[in-house]
Amino acid sequence: MDFVHITSSANPRYKHARALLSRRGRKKYAQLLLEGVRLIEDAMSAGYPPALLFFEPDAGAHVQSLVARAQMAGTQAISMESALLAGLTDTVSSQGVVAVAPWPEIPPGDGGLSVLLEHLRNPGNLGTLLRSAAAAGVDQVVMLPGVTDPWAPKVLRAGMGAHFRVAIRQARDLTQAEAWLGDAKRYRADANASRLYTEVDWRGPSVLIVGGETEAARETASWSDVQKVAIPMQNGVESLNAAVAASIILFEAAHQRTT
């Protein structure tokens, strides 16, 4: 394989990749920093080959195979020692490969199933929710200001490729979010609701509103047409993790839409 080898953090391509560790840098360049074989492969299979790929020369066979495939797709491969590569990662045990990939721009689907997020701040929960949304065939995930950055490394890893399979839209305010959601019926999970989520007809245009686990609805509190639905629980359990609750409801919606 032909590739460039760098030894200094002053290298312009290295400095560019470092900038993508921040939200500001990702927004400025419309690029993401992907870490690990699985996530980079997911991006490539979805049609988003990396512009740059940094790897350790003595990385394992899986990394070497990935480097070769990326080069065939036009990616520039750059080798460096592990101490330098560590400056591009935020994990304890790196797989020895990091890539700079384009910010995916996936258009919303037309099936009529949306998710609206407000004040969801936990990166792991957000990544898990995005993964479930992609798997359940959600057409778009709309985020209000205050939701954690969906393109942050921790969210990307938790999403396990979902970012390249579902439309993620960040609304500047509630008005824009409403325009994107259209006339879809609005639902929110509430443990005290009298109506079960399985009693809802999810086959028409619908939006599931998901909030942070410790914060009440703020922006959407003004909506008078939100219907509350409950997930029945046993053994004294009062509530579920936001991502888990959303996943249960979304797969019920998916089931109704395919049967």
CA dihedral of residues 69, 75, 78, 84 (deg, nearest 10):
-100
d(CA 136, CA 125): 16
Q: β-strand 97-102 against 31-35: which pairing, if any? A: antiparallel
d(CA 156, CA 126): 9
Per-residue pLDDT of 212-247, as tens digits, reads 655 556 667 777 789 999 998 888 777 788 899 999
CATH 2.40.270.10 describes domain 113-258: no
| Main-chain phi, psi angles of 87, to 5 degrees | -70, -10
Per domain, the residue ranges of the chain are: 4-102, 113-258
Q: How many CB atoms lie within 10 A of CB 222?
A: 9
| Main-chain phi, psi angles of 211, to 5 degrees | -115, 175
pTM here is: 0.90
On whether the CB atoms of residues 63 and 54 are closer than 8 A, the answer is no
Per-residue pLDDT of 105-157, as tens digits, reads 899 999 999 999 999 999 999 999 999 999 999 999 999 999 999 999 999 99
Domain 4-102, architecture per CATH: 2-Layer Sandwich (3.30)
